[in-house]
Amino acid sequence: MSESTSMDRVLTTLQHREPDRVPLFLLPTIHGALHLGLPIREYFSRAEHVAEGQLRMRARYGHDCLYGFFYAAAEVEAWGAEVVFAEDGPPTTGEPFLRSRAAVATLSVPDVERTPCLARVLRAISLMKEKVGTDAPIIGVAMSPFSLPVMQMGFAQYLDLMLEEPELFDRLMKVNEEFCAAWANAQLQAGATAICYFDPVSSTTIIPPELYLRHGQPVATRTIARIHGPTATHFASGRCLPIVDAVVRTGTAVVGVGSLEDFAAAKAACRGKVTVLGNLPGIQMTHWTTAQAEDTVRQCMAAAAPGGGFILSDGHGELPLQVADETLLAIAAAVREWGRYPVHAGVARA
C-alpha cells in the first residue's frame, strides 16, 4: 500500500480517525532565509523567496504542510505601521500606529489585495499552491480582531479601551473583524487550505476566562463564521484549557495547545470535538539534543495520538531561528518512528 499524502493524513486526522501516522506541522518561517542564504529582510521582500524557502524546508524535513505566514507585524504594516527587522529573529512592529484611543473612530480597513506587504503573502501562497496542488495543506494566518489591537495601539491602551470605552471598543472590533475576514478569505482564494486564527490575548495566561466569554469568544464566533474555510485557533503559547469548551463553540476545527498545558488533559478535553495541535516547546528546542527531541516526540504521541484528532507541532506557531537543523531532522525522524498508528496511550509504538 502506498503512503498517504500529507493532505490525506491531515483530513483523516481532522475526522478524528487514525491515518497512517500522526501529521507533523513544523511551521518554520525565518528558517527559510537560512536555506536560501539570505538576510531576513531580503528573504521576506519577495514572495518567490518565501515560497521557495517553504518548499525546500518541506522537502528536507518531510513535514505535512506549507506555511503561508511571513511575520505578524505585516498585519499592522498594512495600516502604515513601522516594521523592525532583526538579524536573528522575526520582524516585529515598532511604535503603535494608533497614538490615541480617539483615533479608533477614524480607522478604515486597508485593501488587502492592493497592500504590498499583504500582496506578497498572497503571491507566495499562490506559488506554493502551483507546486503542491492538493498533496499538502497550505496554512494561512490571520490575527484575531481581539488580539490585533495589541500591535495597533499597545497593550495598556487597548485594555483601557476595552474596559473603559465600550463604544470605541465595539467600533475597533467591527473594523478589525472586517479586516480579518477579508484577509483570511483572500488567502483562501490564493490557495490556502485553512486559516490559523491567532488569538493570544484570549488566552487565560493574559485575560481571565470571564473576559474571554464577554469579548473574545463573541468576536471569534462572528469572525470565524465569515471565513470561507476551516480555521485553527491558536493562542501562541498561552493557556487555553479553562476556556476550551467555549473555544469549541466558536466553530473552529483545531485548537493549538502550548507547552505549558497538560497535553493529555488537552486531548481529553478536545476529543471528538476539535483536533489538537501542539505542543513542542520552541524555546527549549533551541538547546535540545537529538535524544531529547525523540523523547519529547514520544511523550507527545503517547499523550495525544490515540484515536486521531492530533497534529504534532510547535506550541507557539513559529519556530525560533536558533532551533538547529539537526533538531528538526530528529523531530521528523521521531514522528516517522513513533507516530505510526496504532499508537497506544502511555507508550508510543516501536
**Averaged pLDDT for residues 289-308:** 96
pLDDT above 90: percentage of residues in the chain: 96
- Is residue 346 over pLDDT 70? no
Residue 1, pLDDT > 60, answer no
Mean pLDDT value of segment 187-210: 98
pLDDT (mean) for 336-343: 95
Domain 6-338 has CATH 3.20.20.210: yes
Segment 326-333 shows an average pLDDT of 98
pLDDT of residue 296: 96
Question: How many Cβ atoms from other residues are within 10 Å of residue 92's Cβ?
Answer: 14
Collapsed DSSP state (helix, strand, coil) of residue 198? strand
Only one residue has cell 523523547, namely 295
pTM of this structure: 0.96
User: By the 8 A CB rule, do 309 and 275 touch?
Assistant: yes
CA 105 to chain centre: 30
Decide which of 139 and 2 is more confident. Answer: 139
Distance separating alpha carbons of residues 31 and 89, to the nearest angstrom: 10
At residue 347, the pLDDT reads: 60
61: cell is 524535513
Average pLDDT over residues 191-220: 98
Residue 2 has pLDDT above 70, yes or no: no
Distance separating alpha carbons of residues 236 and 72, to the nearest angstrom: 11
Cis amide leading into 279 (omega within 30): yes
**Pick from 53, 171, 189, 17: nearest CA to 118:** 189
Residue 348, pLDDT above cutoff 70? no
Which pLDDT score is estimated for 3? 72
Asked whether residue 173 carries a pLDDT value surpassing 70, the answer given is yes
- pLDDT tens-digit series, residues 54-89: 999 999 999 999 999 999 999 999 999 999 999 999
Stretch 118-128: mean pLDDT: 98
The pLDDT value recorded for residue 344 is 75
